[in-house]
Structure 1
Amino acid sequence: MSDTVLKLNNITKKYKNLNVLKDISMTIKKGQIYGLIGLNGAGKSTLLKIISGLSIPDSGSIELFGESEKAKIEVQRRRIGTIIEKPALYENRSVYENMNINRIQKGIPGIASIDKTLGMVGLIELKKKKVKDLSLGSKQRVAIAMALLGDPEFLILDEPINGLDPIKVIEIRELLKKLCREYGITILISSHMLGELYHLANYYGIIHKGKLVQQLTLQELKVRCKKYVHIKVDSVANAAVILSKKLNTTEYNILPDNIINLYDYIDETGKVTETLVKEGIRVEQIMPMGEELESYFSSVIGREDDV
């Protein structure tokens, strides 16, 4: 049995003469939390609408849970829960009433699913409270609970942490991790801030002006953004011995062309230089390198603008 939840092949969408999506191809595997990163207007919401069946692509194909025929895809969409753009909540009704209205709209039999789902997101104690009296973070939990009605295996969330304060961002982040870890729910989540999803997602796609310009794993992102001291010396073998014995560190990689990447002493390049020179090593270059998450994101989309 395939572990592929979603596969898109060359999805294109136009509004009038504007290419909103251009040949988008991506694959999401079971158990992934896939972070879709892009500026406002990059095409994130349009892509999520197409996946959810709220919009139709002009060209390309979709495979959902292994099915690619149109009628079968519609059946498989019952296994999806979504929050696309701003969730529709009845402010003057209670949390429980909102959940029940949503349950009826989805055709889910019985009310037992309401308490079960509220328990999953930690809202049982607030179920009698009116939505208008909830914090923004709790409203987002209600929206997520509504998306979880019907026990979906795939959750699609469009900017669910937008506008939340840092504490609430952490709460929602931990909730989504729990849903993936404990309930086996695969998650596709969009944001315009890479930093917001760095501690949540384990796979990333960067979308810019309708094009998916890069996909990478969390480990690959860590490597590309990790800070280090770039050192070029006359003898990497001797320098490595000195780093180990004199600076008590093995946090380095030896590269071609007499280069060492040192992942220690990031803010003490003077000390590193002094130690190496004192032991007879000629230091030709030494400088801190690496990028902040948002700088990396900006550099990726900046390169695309230069094409």
Structure 2
Amino acid sequence: MAFIVKTNQLTKVYEGNEVVSSVNIHVKKGEIYGFLGPNGAGKTTVMKMLTNLAKPTNGDIEIFGEKLTNHSYEVLKRMGTIIEYPIFYEKLTAHENLELHCEYMGYYNKNEIGHVLDLVKLINVEGKKVRDFSLGMKQRLGIARAILTKPELLILDEPINGLDPVGIRELRQLFKMLSKEYGITIIVSSHILAEIEQIADTIGVINNGKLIAEVSMEQISHNQADFIELIVSDGKKAAFLLDSQLKIANFKCIDEHCIRIYDTSISQKVISKTLIEHDIEIEEITRKTSSLEDYFMKLINGGKVHA
């Protein structure tokens, strides 16, 4: 099987508005697939269609090599999901909620409940009702429920919402472990691009309902450009000097104070010396590497990216 998940011209129309347009995604077995896009881009709608919570208007979905239909019960049993905000029985404890999940999933190894609660670091909550959980605790419980039945595929919509930096780091490590050690395939959406950059093997970028890129992080890393970022008092004058005095053509004025120089053959020392000699105050000059955020923003803003 080439792909665990594959869509063909996946389209969804709500009230005459095409919110997902001919999307073709390809998710390999065992990889972490980062699904990126601005709010309202169509990420959640695609994830709802992958989990049978919404029906496509056109196109089709293949999961585990089978076309997804209204009767794909066995396929859905092999999946764990968090779509939007996880819902629980608020008057029950975390353990009781997971026991119920085992019942309706037909999964009878209830000894696994304690293990998954430990994995998501949801500890010392034995007698606590879910209604008294913080948002971050509910997110952890949602992930515990999603992985409880040992799924082959995890579909996680913004799973780190409400978590503090420590919690985000812990779940990052958990997702990597589930992928690398257990071979679980993970599709995860997030607005925190730096987190996706650290865990994803492949990213899909969706905007205005259309998939505008699907590329491996290895390809992005290979093509990441080094540049010198310059923060100065007078960007216009500095740009003039870069052009006229140093003959640098490959640079971009980000705003009135920030310039990015992509011709790195000229040293920071030479650049600094020239600007200072012409009374340009330098607040910062640093060598940087383009990030996933740079790649993402260029795509969303209509720029062409070659990866």
SS in 1 for 2:25: strand
Q: Which amino acid aligns with 2:34?
A: G
CA distance in 2, matches of 1:48, 1:30: 17
Q: Which moved more, 1:130-139 or 1:16-25?
A: 130-139
User: Which residue number in structure 2 is paired with residue 281 of structure 1?
Assistant: none
- Displacement of 1:156: 0.4
Q: Which moved more, 1:146-155 or 1:21-30?
A: 146-155
Equivalent residues of 2:157, 2:189 under 8 A apart: yes
Aligned residues: 260
Distance 1:181 1:122, change over 3 A: farther
Equivalent residues of 1:213, 1:304 under 8 A apart: no
User: Which residue number in structure 2 is paired with residue 15 of structure 1?
Assistant: 14
Q: Which amino acid aligns with 1:11?
A: L
Q: Could you list the runs of 5+ residues in structure 1 that have no partner in the other structure?
A: 231-259, 275-286
User: Which residue number in structure 2 is paired with residue 173 of structure 1?
Assistant: 172
Equivalent residues of 2:32, 2:185 under 8 A apart: yes
Q: Which moved more, 1:68-77 or 1:187-196?
A: 68-77
Give runs of aligned pairs for residues 29-68 of structure 1, distance below 5 A.
29-68=28-67
- Normalised to the residue count of structure 1, the TM-score between the two structures is 0.75
Equivalent residues of 1:38, 1:193 under 8 A apart: no
Distance 1:304 1:24, change over 3 A: farther
Q: CA RMSD in A?
A: 3.0
User: Which residue number in structure 2 is paired with residue 114 of structure 1?
Assistant: 113
Q: Which amino acid aligns with 1:13?
A: K
CA distance in 2, matches of 1:224, 1:136: 38
- Displacement of 1:72: 7.0
Q: Which amino acid aligns with 2:25?
A: M
CA distance in 2, matches of 1:73, 1:89: 24
Identity in percent: 38
The structure with the greater share of residues assigned to helix is 1
Q: Which moved more, 1:140-149 or 1:200-209?
A: 140-149
CA distance in 2, matches of 1:55, 1:136: 25
User: Which residue number in structure 1 is paired with residue 293 of structure 2?
Assistant: 294
CA distance in 2, matches of 1:94, 1:226: 50
Equivalent residues of 2:33, 2:188 under 8 A apart: yes
Give runs of aligned pairs for residues 148-297 of structure 1, distance below 5 A.
148-228=147-227, 268-271=267-270, 291-297=290-296
Distance 1:118 1:97, change over 3 A: same
| CA distances 1:46-84 after superposition (whole Å, capped 9, x unpaired) | 000000011110111111101126367442121110000
SS in 2 for 1:4: coil
SS in 2 for 1:183: coil
- Displacement of 1:273: 10
User: Which residue number in structure 1 is paired with residue 80 of structure 2?
Assistant: 81
CA distance in 1, matches of 2:164, 2:121: 18
- Displacement of 1:196: 2.7
Q: Which amino acid aligns with 1:157?
A: L
Q: Could you list the runs of 5+ residues in structure 2 that have no partner in the other structure?
A: 230-261, 274-285
Distance 1:50 1:37, change over 3 A: same
CA distance in 2, matches of 1:72, 1:4: 21
